[in-house]
A = this chain, B = another copy of it.
Amino acid sequence: MLLPIRSTLEASGTLPWSDTDREEAILLERMLAGFIREGRLTVLTEGRRALSFGAQAEGIADVTIRFRSRASFLRVALRPTLHFGEAYMNGDLVLEQGTLADLFALVGRNLGNRERGRRGPLARAFRALARRFQQHNPIAAARRNVAHHYDLSETLFRLFLDSDLNYSCAYFPRPDLSLEEAQRAKQRHIAAKLLLAPGQRVLDIGCGWGSLALALARMEKVSVDGVTLSTEQHARATARAEAAGLADRVRFSLIDYREVKGTYDRIVSVGMFEHVGSPHYESFFATIRRLLAPDGVALIHSIGRMDVPGLTDPWTRKYIFPGGYVPALSEVLPPVERAGLWATDIEILRLHYAETLRHWRERFLAKRAVIRDIYDERFYRMWEFYLAGSEMGFRHGGLMVFQLQLARHVDTVPLTRDYIRATEAALPA
């Protein structure tokens, strides 16, 4: 059903408008027509009167934004998917009432999930933005300034990640878990699906700072090879394995996963598939197939989207994630089938990443002074926008995380999924 247009121009007070005011108001009205149905958004442009949309609603904070100039407002109106984020980063768009997270919550509530494909242009633009936020990839994002980025990245991530440095979606079997507990629960959930047994050889593709590889080696007497393309992550992960006394069983290599030789009993990849890019899915799963022992099990954990395939929004592509792509499941399964792999289980984790990002953003905002000292205000605002926008994407924009379990044979994985919960319960806390 098509919802009635309820946005109202409340600025039409007693004074007659100038032609310029009217033009601006018409543009805004077009953009926001039919979009703000719950909650109230007030838009100020420097030197002009307020325009207000929607109506106060319980549970949604009123938000007032101010454009510093008519020019910045017009840029956003022209291409919101790129310039909305830029205007916030540059301080051309400021929050007068409410926070950036409140603004995204207001937008998200109005995006909803109810009228897919029946929205106006602004709703589509916001949805494109929401859908496309994804994990920051230190390798790809920092092409222009690799050394600077890598020198600082761990410092930055330490400011808002859990103490174990898991830079991927946590798992919240209960909503009251702390971030550390939920990341630990994620590791156990993955370990259970991997059906670990002593002596197995495990490959971790995209090992980050080594958190999961070390966790798996602590949970079960397996040996783990982690691969990463980041020198900083490789060095840090190697140091952690040594410090943990696990260097004999947990090794890290600075190579592309396609260069890995031999076969593995278990293959895990968490938060790396987003960086593969859809033209390479075929080769990704063919490589998994090649590296997997006959009775092997693989688990791919990645951001996905519930709706049809599309393109990464321009702001994310420019500032956060040049090489990234979030697939729909319909894009992932054809290459799995062609590789001759069984998809033995597909779990769709909804809202877990929204909760993870909320934790990250709260920690990030609490460190504002430190971050501005290391970087600058613009960098701080860019990341705030990224974290808050990503949270909206997972809460309202159709983003999710899928865990795809793969095997070569029909009977490798138990015939019911009951073992997952049972194994989680049995693993060391």
Contacts and interface: CB of A to CB of B under 8 A. Distances in A.
A312 to B, nearest CB: 17
Contacts of A343: 306, 329, 348
B349 A348 contact: no
The interface centre, meaning the residue of A294, A337, A398 with most chain B CB atoms within 10 A of its CB, is A337
Contacts of A396: 410
A344 interface: yes
A362 interface: no
A10 interface: no
Given A307-B340, A308-B334, A415 B349 contact: yes
Sort chain A's interface into a size bin.
35 or more
A98 interface: no
Contacts of A398: 410
Contact of A411 (B333, B342, B345, B351): B351
B351 A410 contact: yes
Contacts of A351: 410-411, 415
Contacts of A330: 330, 333-334, 336-337
B340 A333 contact: no
Interface string A321-338: 000000011100110111
Contact of A415 (B306, B345, B350, B416): B350
B337 A344 contact: no
A116 interface: yes
Contacts of A418: 173, 421
Contacts of A307: 337, 340
Contacts of A350: 342, 344, 410-411, 413, 415
Nearest to A352: B415
A114 interface: yes
A168 to B, nearest CB: 17
Nearest to A354: B410
Contact of A417 (B175, B308, B347): B347
A254 B173 CA distance: 43
Contacts of A349: 415
A171 B415 CA distance: 9
Contacts of A413: 350
Contact of A409 (B113, B344, B409, B415): B113
A70 to B, nearest CB: 37
Contact of A408 (B113, B338, B342): B113
A257 B133 CA distance: 39
27 contacts: A113-B340, A113-B342, A172-B415, A172-B416, A173-B416, A306-B342, A306-B343, A306-B410, A308-B334, A308-B337, A308-B338, A328-B337, A329-B333, A329-B343, A330-B336, A333-B333, A342-B350, A342-B400, A344-B350, A345-B347, A347-B417, A350-B410, A351-B411, A396-B410, A398-B410, A400-B410, A421-B421
Interface of A: 113-114, 116-117, 171-173, 175, 294, 306-308, 328-330, 333-334, 336-338, 340-352, 395-396, 398, 400, 408-411, 413, 415-418, 421
Given A306-B342, A329-B333, 17 more contacts: A113-B342, A113-B409, A113-B410, A172-B416, A173-B416, A175-B415, A306-B337, A307-B340, A329-B337, A330-B333, A333-B333, A342-B400, A344-B350, A350-B410, A350-B415, A351-B415, A396-B410
